[in-house]
Amino acid sequence: MRREVPFFNYGFLFREKEAEFTQILLDTCRKGAFIMQQEMRDFEKNLATFVGAKHAFGVADGTEAIIIALRASGIGPGHEVIVPSHTFIASVASIQLVGATAVLADIGPDHMMDPEHVATLVTSKTKAILPVQLNGRTCDMDRLGAIAKEHGLLIIEDAAQAVGSKFNGKCAGTFGSAGTYSFYPAKTLGSFGDAGGIVTNDDEVAERIYRLRDHGRGSDGEIVEWGYNSRLDNLQAAILNFKLKTYPQDLERRRALAGLYHEELGGLSALHLPPPPLPGSAHYDIYQNYEIEADRRDELQKYLKENGVGTLVQWSGKAVHQWKKLGFSVNLPKTDKMFERCVMLPMNTSLSNEDVGYVCQLIKTFYKK
C-alpha cells in the first residue's frame, strides 16, 4: 500500500504536544518574560547538566554560536582554522567572518573529518581545529585531540547536529575550548524558530561568551568589548527546556529507527550505510540524519519520490569547496566522491516503524530492477 513519507514533517513538531506547548507559550507571554529571563537560565542550566559541561549559554542561532565560540576562544585575523568541507556553509562562514582563514579538510571512510588529512594541513598559522559532529555522530576525538595537543591547537566543535551524541562516553561539544549547538526546528532538539547554544568548561571563555552574546556587557553591565545581539529568545528557551526533559527518549527512538534501516538495508551491496547503533561502541550516535551512499542515487531519489517518499541531498548537493565563487582551490577527492552518491532518508520522531519498512521495501524493489 502506498504511503506518504515526507522527508521532514515541520507541523508535527508543534502538533505532537500541542496542548503542552500552547500552555508554555501562554504562561511565558503572560508573565511578560521575553528576553533573558528565568526560562533561558533554566534551559542553560539543564543543557549544561545534560551534556556534562560546566557552562552553557543560549544564543540566537547555531551560526552565531560558532562565531561567538571562535571569538571567545581568541580566534581572529592571521589565524588558520582547519574545518571539513563536508559541512554546512555556516561552519566555514563563521571562521571567515571572524577574520580568520578556513583551511578545508577531506573526510575519512566514516564521512567525518579525516584526522590524518588534518595533520597534513597544520602550518605555523594554524590556531584551531573545528571538527563538525555531522549527522549526529562525533568524530574520533582521541585522534583529533592528539593532533591538537602535538601542535598546541585549540579545538572548537561545531556540534550543531549532535546534542547528546557521545564519543567514549563524553558528549559532543565538550572536548575542546567550546562547542556549539543549533536548535533550528529540524535539528534533533528543535525549537519553533532560530535558536542556538554554546558550552564550555573554561571559565574565561565562558565570561567572554556571556559578554559577546549581549553587546559586550559583563555581568556588572560594564561594556568592555564589541559584542553582538545574539540572545536566545526566551519563548524558544521555554519550549527547549520542556523538550529537553523527554529528549533522551527521542534519541533512543532515532537510534531504533536507524537500527531498523540497518536491518532492512544492510544486505544491499548498492548502498553504503552509516554505522548501526551498537551497544558497547565508542560512538553513541544520535542520527540527526540518516545519510547513505547509493548507486544510481538520482534515479533512486526519483523512484522514491514517485512513491511518496521524500529524500534530501544535503546542502544543494555541494561541499563547501565546490561553491566556485567562494574561491577555494583545494583537492578533496573523498568529499567529491561522496557528494556524487550521498542522499538522506527520512529520519525523525514522527516516523512509524511501518513508514521505515515502506521506505526500505521500495529501495529493495528499486535495486532488483
Ligand X SMILES: *Cc1c(COP(=O)(O)O)cnc(C)c1O
- Rule CB under 6 A: which residues touch ligand X? 61-63, 87-88, 90-91, 132, 158, 160-161, 182, 184, 194, 196
Residues in the chain: 369
Indicate the residue among 90 and 100 with the shorter CB distance to ligand X: 90
Cβ at position 30, least distance to ligand X in Å: 28
Cβ at position 269, least distance to ligand X in Å: 30
Cβ at position 73, least distance to ligand X in Å: 17
Indicate the residue among 235 and 268 with the shorter CB distance to ligand X: 235
In the bound complex, which residue of the shown chain has the CB atom lying closest to ligand X? 62
Cβ at position 131, least distance to ligand X in Å: 11
Cβ at position 315, least distance to ligand X in Å: 9
Q: Is 93 helix (H, G, I), strand (E, B) or coil?
A: helix
Indicate the residue among 196 and 277 with the shorter CB distance to ligand X: 196
Across the chain, the runs of DSSP E, i.e. the strands, are 55-59, 80-84, 101-105, 126-129, 154-158, 166-167, 170-171, 178-182, 196-200, 271-272, 283-284, 290-294, 342-345
Long-range contacts formed by 28-33: CB under 8 A, 24+ apart = 28/234, 28/235, 28/238, 29/235, 33/234, 33/238
Indicate the residue among 50 and 88 with the shorter CB distance to ligand X: 88
Cβ at position 13, least distance to ligand X in Å: 15
Judge whether 192 and 59 are in contact, CB under 8 Å. no
Indicate the residue among 71 and 363 with the shorter CB distance to ligand X: 71
- In angstroms, the CA 365 to CA 355 distance is 16
- In angstroms, the CA 305 to CA 300 distance is 9
Indicate the residue among 197 and 277 with the shorter CB distance to ligand X: 197
Q: β-strands 170-171, 178-182: how paired?
A: unpaired
